[in-house]
Structures are given as C-alpha cells and as structure tokens.
Amino acid sequence: MDELAARRAAETLLAAHKANVQFKSLDPPDRPASVADAYDIQQRFVMLLRGQHGDPVGYKVGLTSAAMQTFCGIDHPIAGVVLAKRVMQSGASVRRADYGRLGLEFEVAVRLKSDVPATGTPFTAKTIAPHIGDVCAAIEIVDDRSADYAGLDVKSLVADNSWNAGIVLSEFSATWPDLADVPGRASRDRVAIGEGHGRDILGHPFNSVAWLATQLAARGAGLKAGEVVMTGAVMKTVFPDAAARYRFELEGLGSVEVQVA
C-alpha cells in the first residue's frame, strides 16, 4: 500500500477513535486489500498515537486460541503495538467510559532479554526461547468499539492496531513452570469467570512469540531486548458491564488485578 493511502486510512481510524464511534470495516479507498496493507496502515496509525500514548515498548499477539479465532471468524493470529503510556501495573484502574467498549483478555506476557534478529528462517518455540528473559501474568485492555463480529473484517481490525488499548502486568519472574500446562484462572470480585492453560495459546506461549518474530522479520523488523510481548489469551474476552475488580492468576507465576470503574 502506498504511503499516502496508508496515511489517509490511519487518519480515518484516528478520527473514528476521537469521535468514539462504533468500529466498522474501513471503506474504499481506505480498506486494505491484503494483510500486508493492513500492517502498513497500522504502522502509520501507531505513529499518530505516539504523541499521546508514548513510544512502542512491545507487541500484542491476538487470536491465538481456537476459541478467540472462532469468536472473530478467522484462522490465524494478528499483531499490534503496545505503547509506553498504556503500560500499567497490577492494581491499576480503568474506566469503561474511556473506551468504545472495554474488553479484558487474560494472558501470559514475556519480556525479551536480547534482540531477535530478522532472518528469513521462521522462528520456533525452541529458537525463540533463548531470547526470553522473564514471564508474567497479564491482562490486555482491548477496545473493540462494539464491533459487529458477524461482519468482522480482520484486515480492518489489524489496521486498528489489533484493538490494543493497553496492558496490565504483574511482577515478571525469571523462572517459570511448564507454560504449556500452567493453568490460568480469571475471577470477577472473587467469583470465577473462566480458565484456560498456556497450551491454549498456539500450543505454547513461546509459539506465539515465534510467530510474531517471523511476522516482523517478513517486514524487515525484529524484536528488541526489553520489549514485552503479550502472547495471547487463554480464554474468551470478557466485556465488563459494571464496576468490578478482575484478577487473573497463573499457577506458579503469580497474579495480576485491574479495577474497572
């Protein structure tokens, strides 16, 4: 997609967010014709967001479980960029009124300890593992702006930074249990609302990081030391409809909480 078209589409997205209107697929001529076009638009959209939300500090990988792919009607993961001022620590508060429609996704996050070079060889969980230094329980803040999932266009979703609106992190740990088998449990005001395992994230959370590294390499980029990657949700997105405190615990790794007002 040429730069002028991508910039125009990004400005359309920014205006939609400022007006807080319902998410809808981009219309021609802004609609991306391919996934590559969608990431071109996303790149420019993120540039527009940086003034208010800070520089990129990591990525989110979405639609990594069968449940989420079925929910959104697609069959592959997607990626978005995490910005510095959208990174929160456990115990943070968010307001539903600040989003079109606030969603919470309960995830495994990793932090890179070394740069991942862009190569032509696809990464695997085994080859990406030496670059991962820390792991933690995390909650992704998403804003789907009340999208109509029945007619969802995944390319427009990707262009809209894959709906990332922030992340909430627990304390990182340099040691972790078997992430494929680790159970994760979510609760609302101490009442269980769902659970899953690390294997629900593409079989293993590191597979998600490997997919991202391969995706970035195809665009001439690479993961950097210190960046955080939200590897994906272990269960279906939760959309809070009232004030409540949400908690997500990864057994053997710790827990993360967010207060929704």
Read off the CATH number of the domain in which 241 is found. 3.90.850.10
What six digits make up the tokens of 163? Answer: 């709906």
36 domain residue, yes or no: no
1 domain residue, yes or no: no
157 domain residue, yes or no: yes
5 domain residue, yes or no: no
**pLDDT value for 149:** 85
Structural domain total, the chain: 1
Domain that holds residue 109: 55-260
**pLDDT value for 169:** 98
**pLDDT value for 97:** 96
120 domain residue, yes or no: yes
80 domain residue, yes or no: yes
Phi and psi at residue 73, in whole multiples of 5°?
A: 75, 30
**pLDDT value for 199:** 96
70 domain residue, yes or no: yes
DSSP 73-108: T-SS-EEEEEEGGGEEETTEEE-GGGSSSEEEEEEE
**pLDDT value for 66:** 75
**pLDDT value for 7:** 95
Interatomic CA distance for residues 207 and 212, integer angstroms: 9
142 domain residue, yes or no: yes
User: Who contacts 19 (Cβ-Cβ below 8 Å, separation ≥6)?
Assistant: none
**pLDDT value for 23:** 96
- Nearest Cα neighbor of 61 from 136, 171, 167, 135 is 167
Q: Which residue matches tokens 């939760």?
A: 238
User: Who contacts 22 (Cβ-Cβ below 8 Å, separation ≥6)?
Assistant: 100, 145, 146, 147, 148
**pLDDT value for 70:** 77
pLDDT in tens, the chain (261 residues): 899 999 999 999 999 999 999 999 999 999 999 999 999 999 999 999 999 999 999 999 998 877 777 777 777 899 999 999 999 999 999 999 999 999 999 999 999 999 998 888 999 999 999 999 999 999 999 999 999 988 888 999 999 999 999 999 999 999 999 999 999 999 999 999 999 999 999 999 999 999 999 999 999 999 999 999 999 999 999 999 999 999 999 999 999 999 999
**pLDDT value for 172:** 98
